[in-house]
């Protein structure tokens, strides 16, 4: 994992898995309190 990046919690991984199906990164970002860019970066790793 690159320096400065943290691991996702179980809840964050669950939400991101749902986002991968629904395709709504903005909603996931708001739900998790993360930036949309962070969500999109993690989705790219899924």
C-beta of residue 26 within 8 angstroms of C-beta of residue 36: yes
- Mean pLDDT score, 17-43: 82
pTM for this prediction: 0.57
Q: What pLDDT band is residue 3 in, cutting at 50, 70 and 90?
A: low
> Would the pLDDT of 11 be above 80?
yes
């Amino acid at each position: 994992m690159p320096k400065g990046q943290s691991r996702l919690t179980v809840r964050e991984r669950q939400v991101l898995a749902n986002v991968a199906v629904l395709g709504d990164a903005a909603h996931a970002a708001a739900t998790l309190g993360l930036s949309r860019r962070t969500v999109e970066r993690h989705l790219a790793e899924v």
